[in-house]
Structures are given as C-alpha cells and as structure tokens.
Amino acid sequence: MKNRVVITGIGAITPIGIGKENFWNALLAGKSGINQITRFDATGYTTQIAGEVRDFDPTEYIDKKEAKRMDRSTQFAVAATKMAFEDSKIDLESEDKERIGVIIGTGIGGIETLHSQYVSLFEKGPSRVSPFFIPMMIGNMATGQTSIVFGLQGPSSCVVTACATGTNSIGDAFRLIQYGEADVMVAGGTEACISPAAVAGFCSMKAMSVEHNDNPTVASRPFEKNRSGFIMGEGAGVVILESLDHAVARGAHIYAEVVGYGSNSDAYHITAPSPGGVQAAKCMRRAIIDAGMNVEEINYINAHGTSTPMNDKNETLAIKDLFGDHAYNLAVSSIKSMTGHLLGAAGGVECIATALTIENDEVPPTINYEQPDPELDLDYVPNKSRKCKVNAALSNSFGFGGHNATILLKKFVK
C-alpha cells in the first residue's frame, strides 16, 4: 500500500510578492511583477525587462556570514524553505531528521556567481577567484545548503530539467514518500538568472519578447493572439510534503493532496516542443492514470503557458487531445502572465498556486489577455480571478531538452 502524500507548508519568493499571503493576494489581483531590469545595465539588450524579486534581504532568513557564501539562487531556496517550515508548524527538533529529505532543483544554478568570478579572473587574475566560487555556483547547492542549514539527513538530490525542474522535483519527492523512503520532503525549485550572460543568451535565441520594453507589465501574455515571447523571472517555490499519517499525527494543516505525477520526453528538439503537443498530452495522461482518476474529474489546469507562440499553441492542442469535449469545461490559466517565467523555479511556484487554488476555490487569471487567438479557444480565465469549485487540478511544466512534467493535486478528503 502506497502512502498518501499531502502539502502542509508553503514558501514563495516571487516577483509579485514574498511569502504565501503576498504572493496569493497579488495573483488574485492580477498584479504584474514585470519591470525594467535593475540587477545590471541592460542598455543594448533587445529585452530590457524581467520579473525581478524586489526587497529581498537574505539576512532576514539566513545568518549573514553564511548568506555571503551562497549564490542568490541558493539564498532564495533556503529562505523559501524557512518560510515553508514555519508555515507547516513542524517542530524539527522533535522529528527524526533522517526521515526528512530535500529535492530543490534549479535550471541554471549559480550563474550570478559564475559571472562575477569570471570578471574577477579576467580583470584581476586567478589568485582573486573566491575559494567559495565552486560551492556557490554548482546547481546542487540549493539542496545541499538547505539540508545543512536545517540539519536534514534524509534523501537528498537535485533535479535539473530546465523549465520542468520544479515540477520534477516535487514529483520525485512525492514518490519517495509514497514508497516509504521518507516521512517529510522539502521540494521545489529556485532560480536567480537575471544576469548579463543569461539574458544575452535568451535574447540571442530570440525566445523573449522584445516589443514591450517601454511598457513591461503587458509583455507576458500567454495564449493571447499577440504573444511574442516569454519574460524571464526569478524566485523560488518550496513545499513541505508529508505522508498523510505523519501529517495527521501532528495535526498539520493540509492544503491539498498530491495524487498523481507524470514525466516523459518529447525526444524531438533541444528547445522546440514536439508538434501538436503529443507527448505533453501523454505526460498529463500519465499523471491522471497514476492518480487513478479520469479526465472528467479535472477542473483546472495551471498551464505552463510561457507566452511563446509555439508553446501556448502546443499546450492547447495537448489539452484538447487528452480531454476531448471536457477541455471546454476546464479553467486553464498561466500565472507566468504575472510572474514571468521563473525557469527552474516555475514548477515550484506554480504548484503553490495550484494548491492555493484548490484550497480557496478561486482560480488566478491569465492577465494581458486582450485579443483571442482563433487557434486557441479554451477558457484561459482572462484578466480576472474566478471563484469556482476546484476539486482536482493539474500543474504542467515543459522544459528545453523535451522534458515534460505534470503533477495532479486534489482537495484533501480523509
């Protein structure tokens, strides 16, 4: 008998707010977090806007000395974990920490550290490279430092599947609890990628919108006719997963139950999704089958919805392929319209949004939806949040390299 798995804690650091309440209230208000880039001088870049996390002070969450030895992406992860543990009200001192694990992934890792240390190398020579360069930069340090800070000695790993990272991390953690390898898992994604090289790279790919540098809040417009590319964002989304027995025994608040997980590959192209969204549909199907449910039981899809022409089209086709006529009964929205695309952190933040949607029976909107695309004819919850019963919801993440990941959350029923 597999263990049931529930979400009992939430930690969110996002361009629209830090902390669960700020994040959720901004989502429901349709607030955009996209603005001019301030982390470096973006003059001369074709895209000069991003979803930056403003007013983040790592020393509010982490010892000052230790924070200096962490890349910004790791600081986000540790801070979001602290928030999630506090939200869960779990007493770590009374827990068996060998039964608590961590999987916090990142798509790019410590790229700000990489950039700053290359500048030191080329301008000042090898002797000026920090001894903390490597342990600050490598992608597993979000998990490593989180485990160290909180003394967690259970299963420990790092998922790197580009934009599917956060969802794969939560799905893998879900499996570990299901099969008894842990009682509690810290899971999600983190990213701090608003750096010169990363932005230049995405600009060179022509993947980002270049049309709204003077009006950034309208730049991210998933599923809308005039969408022209994604907008980068940064942040972290971390959840506390527990076996149901463990959560009930300590009287935990339960946001939602994780009941299904699907993962597969397009095996098609390094950046482009497979035509027609065939593998994305199969990924969603895997999650539904894993949950022992049928398609008619799903009420809402928190879409990957990047605001790129092909991704949004193919995700829509995938939903219609899988759900048939029921696709038109679904609410489908993309919070990337507000946060931008948080890359490896997107799945973690979007899992949180999905859990809160289920708990509150209110669907966040897709903002900047002005002109419908005739080819995209689903209900994308345009511009305003909507009160409606949500018993079961999917959260999709699709990444460069063809990685697809879907988790299925349900209202918790004893």
Q: Is there a domain that residue 254 lies in?
A: no
Q: CA separation (Å) from 262 to 232, 265, 283, 285, 300?
A: 25, 11, 5, 7, 17
- Looking at the fold, whether 360 and 219 belong to one and the same domain comes out as no
Q: Is there a domain that residue 256 lies in?
A: no
- Looking at the fold, whether 360 and 235 belong to one and the same domain comes out as no
With beta carbons less than 8 A apart as the criterion, state whether 385 and 364 touch. Answer: yes
Q: Is there a domain that residue 224 lies in?
A: yes
Helix/strand/coil for 268: coil
* Catalytic residue (choose from 163, 193, 283, 351): 163
- Looking at the fold, whether 108 and 167 belong to one and the same domain comes out as yes
- Looking at the fold, whether 98 and 134 belong to one and the same domain comes out as yes
Boundary of a domain, candidates 197, 229, 249:
249
Residue 392: per-residue pLDDT: 98
Residue 1: per-residue pLDDT: 83
- Looking at the fold, whether 29 and 172 belong to one and the same domain comes out as yes
Total domain count, the chain = 2
Residue 329: per-residue pLDDT: 98
With beta carbons less than 8 A apart as the criterion, state whether 170 and 129 touch. Answer: no
Residues in CB range of 116: below 8 A, 6 or more apart: none
- Looking at the fold, whether 185 and 163 belong to one and the same domain comes out as yes
Boundary of a domain, candidates 249, 270, 288:
249
- Looking at the fold, whether 272 and 365 belong to one and the same domain comes out as yes
Give the bridge partners for 101, in sequence order: 185
Residues in CB range of 104: below 8 A, 6 or more apart: 77, 81, 142, 143, 146, 158, 169, 186, 187, 188, 189, 190, 236, 238, 348
What is the residue type of 19?
A: G
- Rg (alpha carbons) of the chain, rounded to whole number: 20
Environment class of residue 104 by beta-carbon count within 10 Å: exposed (0-12), middle (13-18) or buried (19+)? buried
Helix/strand/coil for 51: strand
Stretch (H or E) spanning 243: strand 235-243
Place of tokens 């403003």: 54
Q: CA separation (Å) from 312 to 286, 299, 316?
A: 20, 19, 6
Strand intervals (E) in 17-63: 17-18, 35-36, 49-50
- Looking at the fold, whether 36 and 173 belong to one and the same domain comes out as yes
Place of tokens 């995405």: 202
- Looking at the fold, whether 224 and 283 belong to one and the same domain comes out as no
CA dist., res. 156 & res. 140, Å (int): 9
List the one residue out of 269, 384, 368, 404 whose CA is nearest residue 331.
Answer: 384
- Provide φ and ψ at 188, rounded to 5°: 155, -155
CA dist., res. 50 & res. 38, Å (int): 9
Q: Which residues form the domain of 136?
A: 5-249
Q: Is there a domain that residue 217 lies in?
A: yes
List the one residue out of 289, 261, 257, 291 whose CA is nearest residue 404.
Answer: 261
- Looking at the fold, whether 178 and 272 belong to one and the same domain comes out as no
Tell me if residue 203 is catalytic.
no
Residue 384: per-residue pLDDT: 98
Residue 414: per-residue pLDDT: 85
Q: Is there a domain that residue 255 lies in?
A: no
- pLDDT averaged per 10 residues, the chain (length 414): 96 98 98 98 97 97 96 98 98 98 97 94 96 96 98 98 98 98 98 96 95 97 97 98 98 98 96 93 98 98 98 98 98 98 98 98 98 97 98 98 98 94
Boundary of a domain, candidates 249, 274, 308:
249
CATH of the domain at 332: 3.40.47.10
Give the tens place of pLDDT for each residue, 164-218. 999 999 999 999 999 999 999 999 999 999 999 999 999 999 999 999 999 999 9
Place of tokens 């679904």: 330
- Looking at the fold, whether 227 and 97 belong to one and the same domain comes out as yes
List the one residue out of 80, 133, 68, 83 whose CA is nearest residue 106.
Answer: 80
- Looking at the fold, whether 167 and 30 belong to one and the same domain comes out as yes
pTM > 0.95: yes or no: yes
Residue 346: per-residue pLDDT: 98
Q: Is there a domain that residue 354 lies in?
A: yes
List the one residue out of 235, 190, 215, 305 whose CA is nearest residue 15.
Answer: 235
Q: Is there a domain that residue 403 lies in?
A: yes
With beta carbons less than 8 A apart as the criterion, state whether 408 and 258 touch. Answer: yes
Q: Is there a domain that residue 312 lies in?
A: yes
